[in-house]
Chain A
């Protein structure tokens, strides 16, 4: 008790000392100081009053959608990076001219209709009365401006290489021209997300032009948006949260969507993501890890939706590194030795579609009579014929965090190849390191998965199976060094073939040749998987491209 009193007295005396320390150096100065304080306090009161009068965050009384995805968008600039996450964001915040629907058909968005004028030109008629989030009206000028910016974007310029320019016919009509006849013009229009040309013109606080498209520094477009899409970004903290509220002047009044607010948090850990859904902390998750499918199916409160995606998973066999791979029989033997149907059943738990070619169902090049070929006896016979009955030793590399179960697939393959006396030295690694190794073609067999950018068969071959050519960029990811002039000829021919029947025939021939020559070892096309609470009707809004259209989502 004595101690406490002592401490109190001490504290009091210190306090008094400090308050006396400030000697009055003249009355006028103190008064002026006080006056200043009064002014400051008044300002504070006014500030507080305004804050009270206008609530800083509008009270959302509507329907909220909480989303847990494995990754979040890296930026708000739709043209800064070509990745799945960024395109998803583009569909929520911006709107494309046209888009893919659930049945893999192209349907109108900002363009209400279109017609081909000649071999090179397509005319797009734009919707009238569309507004950007900034309030600016959407016109043909914005399409032209955004297109020109796309052609300069590091990530997109390669895709838009076949294109020439956009010309404005009138405020609501544009002509898009290609350099030569290009059958995939409309497919590519799904990548054109008009940006608000007025909003992105000028310079920002740092003196940088607002339209700057830079990957590794802060730019205006990385942190601000004005699109025409169903949602306005209200908060964006990368890696933590993305919040969007419904755009009250959204042009598509026919959309059944009734989501008022979307809160997206990245949940990278598979088990945590599933737990978050099952515990009700989030309403929608994707992807769903295959191991949890049964668990989610058996839960009466949630729905699981899976659908075919177009990403083909393959191994390439490097003919430059391994002499034996030059022998078509050895390559065939490998294809016969690997039970990819078994891998889909056991490792992928049925969450993938077995493949025997690059093109998934629905693509022009897809050939229905190409079937998976697992036959161990035949594989051994082929090895014998090729003179490799005793087998040989190879190296193999695969990523372990890029594709679903990538490392497990590689392990299974190594074991299956052991049965035809091919001894595999397998190395798996994180994707951050894998792609360097892939570029160096550092192993005899390397894994790669590919999704066609153009939703067309040709794209697979252009990157994976055409002869590698540094000048044209073809075969950039052909780590098998497979090269067949006939394939090059057919694929390049198909690029400008506008006759659908002829084009289909060409692309199917490509698949047939690749199959016969066992150019690569195919596994499967990965499925997309989504799970949501039962009253969130997600089935109609998901599609093969993995762009859930939240703008059209109905919550009951």
Chain B
């Protein structure tokens, strides 16, 4: 536990310069976009006279050169002031935090689907590499991995919403349904089936391949041969010696892919009309709201850092060389 705590502290500290660089990148983007925060704010409240504009610029630290402006921007970020959204006419922080839970739910479910189904089918393939079952599943995985998520989403809508009428084609829950408690949770779950599948199946295919290739490699390793020589066979050998070690690269990939998955949620949320962070990014671009887009980017960076932190901790628990494990 002490070691986990130290790891946590070191990683959090190491993330600070990265976050700082992301913020500086965001500042450069703001500088490149036409107009500044005062222009945006005045456009929102319907304009103001020259004296008022100058006073606002001085107050927000926007009247100096690039360096004082950068300092003012970073200072504001430290106070959790992400600026003003012109599209929503509200503070950026309030808008992005409101949309965050839906995206986290979508991402969490998609990760769960990808990880469980991907490693399960990967074990089925990797238990006997080269078998007909392995070839068929691997081929299917390659095909799924080549699919754009948004297109898969549309195909699923055509199949399950339009033709079969089993599942809703958009939204996060039934509007004004008056549902509460478990009924509402079930309603949200029904709405999430198709978007989660569209986002998660691509990663399922990726994890399947990783798991399968890892296991195929591990069968040739000495410790597996030794276990076999000791008479170990069947599920015990496959699961405890081979699959457990093949799971490590999958877990590593999980962290690396969290940023890509957030990016994928931009399109998936747009397809399924889910009011989340991703669709907010698309709206921000369409409505030329740079501060809002930056807010989404910064919050995404924080989410990615936290997910990777969680993955590091999980890794420490899983790796037989770190834990009290039996493998290795």
Do A and B make up one complex? Answer: no
Point out residues on A near B: beta carbons under 8 Å: none
